[in-house]
Amino acid sequence: MNAIEGRDLDQQGDEQAVTYIRERLNSIQGADRARFAMLITQAELAGRSISLKETKSLRRFEIARGLFLLFDSGQFDEDLVKDICSQITSQKYSKPGEALANLDVKQAQRFANACHGIARDLLNLIYIPETNQFHIEEQAS
């Protein structure tokens, strides 16, 4: 197991999950399709791919799952992706693909969980216009 990528998703159940998420991502159309392609390019330029085509790792799967949840729920925003990653890594990023490229497997799992919470309205998303940043916090019970 690789400390950055995590385990390879090469078991039958894993393959089904990877195939499912790839099919769902491939169904994205229009401007969102272009945004997704941009993220992949930015991550590659930042030095670490997020594409499931070359390597089917847990890290890449979790990033893809998180992105799909944001696209599917209509919540995708470049600044949101950067800010989720910034909250996870305590670093600032200029591009969302760069932010995703810097996630390791554990951070990618946190990214996907945050995206799930946002997509399902389980987290409060607060936009701060003065800084053009998002702040994410759990909803009070």
> How do the domains of the chain map onto residue ranges?
12-138
Residue-level pLDDT at 139: 73
- Residue written as token pair 């490229």: 101
Other beta carbons less than 10 A from residue 66's beta carbon: 26
The 10s digit of each residue's pLDDT in 10-61 is: 877 788 999 999 999 999 999 999 999 999 999 999 999 999 988 899 999 9
H helical segments located in the chain: 12-26, 30-45, 58-73, 78-89, 96-101, 105-119
Percentage of the residues of the chain whose pLDDT score is greater than 90: 72
141 pLDDT tier (thresholds 50, 70, 90)? low
The 10s digit of each residue's pLDDT in 112-123 is: 999 999 999 888
CA distances, 46 to each of 81, 97, 101, 105 (Å): 15, 8, 6, 17
Residues 55/98, Cβ–Cβ less than 8 Å: no
